[in-house]
Amino acid sequence: MGHLLTYAISAALPLLAMYIVYKWLLASENQYRYNRVVLLSMMLCAFILPAVNVLVQQFASNNATVQLMSPLPQPSIADDYAAQPTTWPRIALIVYLAGIAAVVIHMAIVWLRIARITASGTKIRDGRYIIVLTDDDKVAPFSWHRYIVMSLSDYKQAGVMITAHEKQHIDRQHWIDLLLAQFIVTVNWFNPAAWLVREELKAVHEYEADKRVLDSGINARDYQMLLISKATGMKFPTVANSLNHCKLKKRMTMMMTSQASMSRRLRTLAAIPAVALAVLAINHDAVAAALDHVNNSALFYSDDKESTPDIVIMGHDATDVQTESKHDDTYGISDIKVIGYEAVRKEPAPKPDDSHARDRKPMTSPRIFINGIEKDMEEIMKIDPSSIESIAVTRDDDDRIYVTLKDRANP
């Protein structure tokens, strides 16, 4: 479960950065089809970027050489987090899952309301569309999939214009956009940008439908008066396109505004540096260490004791060297870890499987050389990490660790 929360947090920052750029530079432009594509691309990119970031880090780690960074800032960050109580990642995970549950329950309630209205209303077939008439005058006209829902009084007064408007939503499959937006809101419910992007997408849907209705020959004044008269009423903000969703003044303005020039679309390029800054923030040492704790969190923990690494050295490559040791007659692992730019994850030492003891090479401690002189594990435990210049690890029949101290100091 911790992986899901880490992924959602990693997607939240790029989505927030892109939304700020969109709202600042594109939201007021009359280019509804282009803005629709931009909004959908923002949501998809926000959730693709974290996966790409992980792949890039793994590729860089696998192709780099083992080299110790000097000075060593990462161990201090990892040690600081390791020394702190580890209950907060579990609390964050519980809150996150509770938020998802609340959003899902709310969405289910809305679905049930739509299903009840659709099932109980009078149905009229209009080609591939199904018009549903309800006796509840409080329900504002809306559409979902191939259903057009309105009250019986609305149908008698302005059925032609309402039907023309809602058909535009159905023809352009706006309901698919809303399903994607609702998924983003569910996974990223703690991110204000997720909710705001969904509202911007629904507004763009209304601009597009309004434009298509007016282009079909319907009188602009009569249509605007219809929108004014239907400015109130019960809405379904989760999954349906409502006639009265968007702010009325904004819709009127868009109807009277000329279409933006193609050159103004270049403003979208401003999202590139914004996203780059968001990715850099995610990869910052402190943020990465915190996300690693969240990533390793779980709702339930076992009572198995974890073995604590004896030495942690952070460099370019991710290499584990393990040596067997015993503490109070209990099997354990003393780890020397040379890992990438991430926080250290402590793994419990697995019990050896004696049934396959004959088929594998016996576990032996690696040979340790300090400034070319072979030492034992106790000697390397006494070394001050700040005095280490470099470290090299060989993995073959005779595993060795070569440690070089600064100024060739005598260990």
Lowest average pLDDT, out of 111-115, 164-168, 250-254, 297-301, goes to 297-301
Over residues 2-54, the pLDDT tens digits come to 788 888 999 999 999 999 999 999 988 888 899 999 999 999 999 898 888 77
pLDDT average, residue stretch 54-65: 63
pLDDT category at 165 given cuts 50, 70, 90 is very high
pLDDT category at 253 given cuts 50, 70, 90 is confident
Calculate the average pLDDT of the chain.
77
Cα separation of 95 and 84, whole Å?
Answer: 20
Tokens coding 160: 């032609």
**Read out DSSP for 36-53?**
HHHHHHHHHHHHHHHHHH
> Any idea how long the chain is?
411
Element (H or E) spanning 276, and its range?
helix 271-282
Over residues 266-312, the pLDDT tens digits come to 889 999 999 999 988 888 888 878 777 777 766 655 544 444 444 44
**Confidence at residue 281, expressed as pLDDT on a 0 to 100 scale:** 87
Lowest average pLDDT, out of 93-97, 164-168, 225-229, goes to 225-229
Most confident residue range from 87-91, 94-98, 256-260, 367-371: 94-98
pLDDT category at 380 given cuts 50, 70, 90 is confident
Q: Are 18 and 276 in contact (CB under 8 A)?
A: no
Most confident residue range from 75-84, 185-194, 235-244: 185-194
Output the pTM of the full model.
Answer: 0.66
Q: Are 188 and 166 in contact (CB under 8 A)?
A: no
3 state SS of 173: coil
Please choose, from the candidates 353, 355, 321, the residue with its C-alpha nearest in 3D space to the C-alpha of residue 335: 321
Tokens coding 385: 């990490």
- Going from the C-alpha of 192 to that of each of 13, 189, 197, 276, the distances in angstroms are 11, 7, 9, 20
pLDDT category at 403 given cuts 50, 70, 90 is confident
247: left (phi over 0), alpha (psi -120 to 50) or beta: beta
pLDDT average, residue stretch 347-376: 63
Tokens coding 228: 């004014």
Cβ neighbors of 377 (< 8 A, separation 6 or more) are 310, 323, 325, 334, 365, 368
**Confidence at residue 379, expressed as pLDDT on a 0 to 100 scale:** 75
pLDDT at 405 over 70: yes
Q: Which residue has the higher pLDDT, 84 or 137?
A: 137
**Confidence at residue 207, expressed as pLDDT on a 0 to 100 scale:** 92
**Confidence at residue 274, expressed as pLDDT on a 0 to 100 scale:** 92
Bond into 71 cis (ω within 30): yes
Most confident residue range from 19-23, 324-328, 391-395: 19-23
pLDDT at 259 over 60: yes
Over residues 63-108, the pLDDT tens digits come to 554 444 444 444 444 445 444 446 878 888 899 999 999 999 999 9
Count H helices and E strands in the chain, helices first.
Answer: 12, 12
Mode of pairing for the β-strands spanning 147-151 and 129-134: parallel
Mode of pairing for the β-strands spanning 388-394 and 147-151: unpaired
Cα separation of 298 and 216, whole Å?
Answer: 56
